Amino acid sequence: TGAKTIWDIASVNAIAAANALNDLRIHKQVTNRVLEPFSYMRMVVTATELDNFFWLRLHEHADPHINELARVMLFALQESVPTILEHGDYHVPFFGNGYWTPEIEARYGVTAQQAIEHSMSCCAQTSYRKLDMSAEKTEDIIKKLFGGDRAHSSCAEHQATPMAVPTVGHIPKDYLITDYIFKMPEATHLDRNGNFWSNNFKHWTQYRDSIEGNVKTEGFDYDQDVGTCEVSDMFAEV
């Protein structure tokens, strides 16, 4: 069609522009912006609640692209055979079959921490490079993400273990309910229906929550000197 021809011409022009910017040694994060409308993106999404997403996007008024994504996601979900994990087991994308259990450690000698770090490394690599699943790359990336004074913890939002106490009704009898809710050892908050959550995971403890300094919630210096309001040169050579 005429519209597709115009789109194809635009993509050819974008490639030429990106090559020209690259020849000028402009940073790839700027050059790649020109190519984004014509490229597929790889992403990892881990969720416990998808009802609202499907309800909104599997609808005739939804954007056709996100509608198609939602359709194939639901189809994949319908065709999948879930693996039931227990408290202490871990959901770990990119590791083995996507989960770790104590039996795996007993058989192969791989600890939960090793599986989690492997998974975090692969999740961090997903969007911008060819996947390197080696132990050396894992060590290098984990050091870069967590070795400085600021943790870059978004890659730790995909690893999780089922909660031993997922709801108020599961609180052990030897605990006062109010005491347990105040401590919430596995969770970050409790909803009005009595469900425990860890960040955006319901009934699962997200690994990110166990990382010290994974988020800055107070103490930021809003009075620091940030200089004058000048726009940085995004087209500077690197």
DSSP string for residues in 119-151: HHHHHHHTTTS-----HHHHHHHHHHHHSSSS-
Pairwise CA distance, residues 96 & 110, whole Å = 11
Q: Does residue 220 belong to any structural domain of this protein?
A: no
> Is 129's pLDDT higher than 70?
no
Give how many domains the chain has, as a whole number.
3
- 134 vs 92, more confident: 92
The verdict on 73 and 137 lying in the same domain is no
Cα(47)–Cα(214) distance, integer angstroms: 19
Q: What is the pLDDT at residue 233? A: 73
In a domain, 233, yes or no: no
Give yes or no: residues 98 and 204 share one domain.
yes
Residues near 221 by beta carbon (within 8 Å), at least 6 away in sequence:
none
pLDDT of residue 231 exceeding 70: no
Specify the pTM: 0.86
Provide the 10 A C-beta neighbour count for residue 107: 9
Nearest to 3, CA basis, from 11, 34, 18:
11
Predicted pLDDT at 133: 84
- Say yes or no: 108 and 203 in one domain: yes
- Mean pLDDT of all residues belonging to the chain: 92
Q: Which residue has the higher pLDDT, 184 or 2?
A: 2
Same domain, 19 and 64: no
Confidence at residue 128, expressed as pLDDT on a 0 to 100 scale: 63
CB 70 within 8 A of CB 61: no
Q: Averaged over 97-114, what is the pLDDT?
A: 97
Domain range enclosing 103:
90-210
Domain co-membership, 10 together with 101: no
Same domain (yes/no): 74, 118? no
Q: Do residues 97 and 206 share a domain?
A: yes
Q: Are residues 116 and 192 in the same domain?
A: yes
Whether 219 is covered by a domain: the verdict is no
Number of Cβ within 10 Å of residue 51's Cβ equals 7
Do 167 and 198 have their domain in common?
yes
Q: 5-14, 37-46, 98-107 — which is least confidently predicted?
A: 37-46
Return the percentage of the chain with pLDDT > 70, whole number.
97
Residues 25 and 129 in one domain: no
pLDDT of residue 184: 83
Supply the pLDDT for residue 216. Answer: 85
Q: Is residue 164 part of a domain?
A: yes
State whether 19 and 75 are in the same domain: no
- Residue 104 shares a structural domain with residue 198: yes
Ranges 42-56, 124-138, 183-197, most confident:
42-56
Q: Does residue 73 sit within a domain?
A: yes
Does a structural domain hold residue 94? Answer: yes
Assess whether pLDDT exceeds 80 at residue 54. yes
